[in-house]
Amino acid sequence: MTEKKPYTVPVYKGKPLKEFSRLSDVWVKHVLAMPGHQSYILDLLNAIFEEELPPCMEQGETITSIRYPDRELIKEHLNERGAVLDILVETSQGQLINIEVYQYLRPGIKDKSLFNFARLFTSSSRQGMDNTAGKTGRVKDTAGTASDTAALATKERLKPVIVINLLSQELFRELPEEFVHPFALLHRNHPEILGSDKLYLYFIEVPKCPEIRSRRRLLRWLQYFRNRSVPGPGALKYTEDDPIFAGLERMEMDFVADYDNLKRYFDSEEQARVDAMLMNEALRKEKESGIELGETRGEAKGALRKSFSIAKNLFKLGFTMAQIKQFTGLSDALLERARKGEALTDADFPARS
């Protein structure tokens, strides 16, 4: 009988792993989007919907299976950082729902989520029209009945769209006690009236999740994502009585034992560090966008110097001019000087009129 080797802490570039981010882009995609891992995304989705049921689902209805649709837009979309997966799920009632999951707090995330709604809905509409055309053919509209029938069939085929954002930073700081934020299309003056049950959006703030032991599935998942301990025996909660988290513990140890996986992980973490810096800067600029015209010239100088310094660092990290312009708002002329490593001069701070 072969003696089982004791577990050893993984080493990368000669240094032992000191922590492990379970919200890293590489790891979340590995857990939720890899073939054979459907049980994990099923469990997470049902945990979210158990906590806050979307209007398109009935009480007791659950997600039972997953399909990975071959949408043209998805192939380039999933190459985005933070885009975890795009799936079509079937519920216990036979309903089909489009679901996208993200885990990256990026500038303009609320607007980006609306864009994702539109893209998914357009994709669903096109599929409905294609299916309808395949069944009815294209007929010259003389009385309007053929097109009306096709339009009705297309409407029936439109699937609900749910976008889920798993956030590693706080977005709704004005709501310190709430970490699940659902949004639906409601009547502005009568919020009890739902405009459509086919649109639903979640923002889930992982850092706000309490650390107490719980039987609630979503709390268990969010505590898992918050955990930064090095993978190994005993690193995770709930493994003694929960097969999902026992499986995650084994999966983690296998993952970090592979050097190529560790390289992808550390590359992702370096990118995450830069992204966090950019996000914080974007949020700062958003807050300062309403600064009064009477701000002091010294404050304006400080803001410009900071943006210019950030631009220089981002050029060193390989970002493009277009990307840096988006995050800093600097002119092309200033960006070119930042790229060359030049310094700001007094001429860059014109006197206030």
Tens of pLDDT, residue by residue, the chain (353 residues)? 455 567 787 888 888 889 999 998 889 989 988 888 999 999 999 999 999 999 999 999 999 999 876 544 344 444 455 667 788 899 999 999 988 888 766 656 666 666 666 666 666 555 443 443 343 333 333 344 444 444 434 444 578 989 999 988 888 889 999 999 999 888 878 888 888 888 899 999 999 999 888 899 999 999 999 999 999 999 999 999 999 999 999 999 999 999 999 999 988 888 777 766 766 666 566 555 544 433 444 555 677 887 888 888 777 766 678 777 777 778 889 999 999 989 888 888 765 54
Task: State the residue for tokens 């080493």.
Answer: 11
Q: Decide if 176 contacts 182 (C-beta within 8 A).
A: no
User: How far apart are the C-alpha atoms of 265 and 263, rounded to whole Å?
Assistant: 5
Q: Decide if 28 contacts 166 (C-beta within 8 A).
A: yes
Beta-ladder partners of 181: 203
Pairing of β 161-167 and β 96-102: parallel
Task: State the residue for tokens 């009705």.
Answer: 152
Claim: this prediction has a pTM higher than 0.95: no
Give the Cβ contact number of residue 277 at 10 Å.
15
User: How far apart are the C-alpha atoms of 278 and 246, rounded to whole Å?
Assistant: 36
